Amino acid sequence: MGHVSRSKIQDSIDHGLVHVNGAPNPVTKASVAVRPGDVITCVLRPLESLKALPEPALKLDVIYEDAALLVVNKAPGMVVHSSPGHRSGTLTNAVLGHCMRSDMEGGKREGGVVMEARDGGIDNGGEEADDSEDMEDAGMEDLEALQEALKEGSSEEVMSNSHYRAYLNPTILNSNSLIPNLGGACYRPGIAHRLDKGTSGVLVVAKTPMSLERLTQQFHDRTVERIYVSVCVGHMPMAEGVVRTNIIRDPTHRKRMVAVLPYGVESKGRTSISTFRVLEW
């Protein structure tokens, strides 16, 4: 159970999904004492299905864009991924809105994402709908109707209409559809890396499955060099050096990460190595 967070186990307790020694009554408190030999059964609830709504009103600082990539300068204070705690105002919402706005302007803009309309779509954990040519031909009329609906009403109003909901569900993996999604606990269309909420800087979004695969592999292989400029409090003891720490979730603030020692202990989060050079004193 080392891969399961305490909050996830607490959620199972809260929903009566934890039992000790097969007792019919579930555990109601995390403080229940157990003895050696006790058999604890814990059922984890599935992750909540997430959808991200396009928000065309959220402007992006676009550095570069083509048919495969979108490179933006993320503003400080903006959360990157949509999640249960951040359903709107994220970079994800802005990216989807940017691509939808390009389509609504006629699809002439380079890099505009073509939304392939399908009846039913797919959801996180769901199944793909029919992928026939007849569905694609009929879908283009629905796409035009969707775009008109978005011009006249808000994203929330459009999402309340089940006829359009499938076309706003950006999880279809197709080179001519919405931005591909990596899945997981957060909604991440085409985003292979991240920046913290308070950090500004360059972020690359893949617009096709091929570019997403290659970009993800580059970050996995650490062939991408990331350079940060930061302000430090106090006086640096040396002009340059290397910092080796482990990164864990802050126990006092679950939405933040903190660096801890000793370095390299697997039970202490993920290892992190950063080289630094002082620019100004």
Are 16 and 92 found together in one domain? no
Residue 47 or 5, more confident: 5
Q: List the structure tokens of 281.
A: 């004193």
The total number of structural domains in the chain stands at 3
Instruction: Answer yes or no: do 213 and 135 share one domain.
Output: yes
Tokens coding 59: 């402007």
249-269 pLDDT, tens digit per residue, is 888 887 778 888 887 776 677
* Residues 84 and 190 occupy one common structural domain: yes
Average pLDDT over residues 113-118: 29
More confident residue, 215 or 3: 215
pLDDT at 63: 94
Q: Higher model confidence: residue 73 or residue 104? A: 73
Q: Is 196 a catalytic residue?
A: yes
φ, ψ (nearest 5 deg) of residue 211:
-65, -35
Bigger pLDDT: 25 or 190? 25
Tell whether 211 and 95 lie within a shared domain.
Answer: yes
Residues 205 and 257 reside in one and the same domain = no
| Alpha-carbon span 166 to 280, nearest angstrom | 52
Verify that 74 and 200 share a domain, yes or no. Answer: yes
Read off the tokens for 263.
Answer: 């370095």
Residue 127 has pLDDT above 80, yes or no: no
Q: Which domain holds residue 164?
A: 62-220
Residue 31 belongs to some domain of the structure? yes
> Residue 115: inside a domain, yes or no?
yes
Is 243 a residue whose pLDDT tops 80?
yes
Tokens 């080289």, residue located: 275
Whether 53 maps to a domain, the answer reads no
Buried b (16+ CB within 10 A) or exposed e, 13-24: beeebbbbeeee
Task: Characterize the bridge pairing of strands 201-206 and 240-249.
Answer: unpaired
Q: Tell whether 79 and 34 lie within a shared domain.
A: no
Nearest by Cα to 146 from 119, 117, 172, 121: 117
What is the CATH classification number for the domain harbouring 107? Answer: 3.30.2350
Using an 8 Å Cβ cutoff, are 276 and 227 in contact? no
Answer yes or no: is 126 within a domain: yes
- The Cα 207–Cα 71 span in angstroms is 10
pLDDT tens for each residue of 58-86: 888 999 998 888 999 999 999 887 776 77
Give the mean pLDDT of 168-191.
44
Total residues found in the chain within this entry: 281
Same-domain check for residues 76 and 33: no
- Please tell me which residue in 123, 196, 221, 250 is annotated as part of the active site: 196
Looking at the structure, tell me whether residues 189 and 98 fall in a common domain.
yes
Render pLDDT for 146-157 as a digit per residue (tens, 0 to 9).
444 444 444 444
pLDDT of residue 193: 82
pLDDT greater than 60 at residue 166: no
Residue 109 Cα distances to 22, 42, 54, 77, 204, angstroms: 61, 51, 18, 28, 18
For residues 216 and 244, membership in a common domain is answered with no
Please give the structure tokens belonging to residue 152. Answer: 């006249």
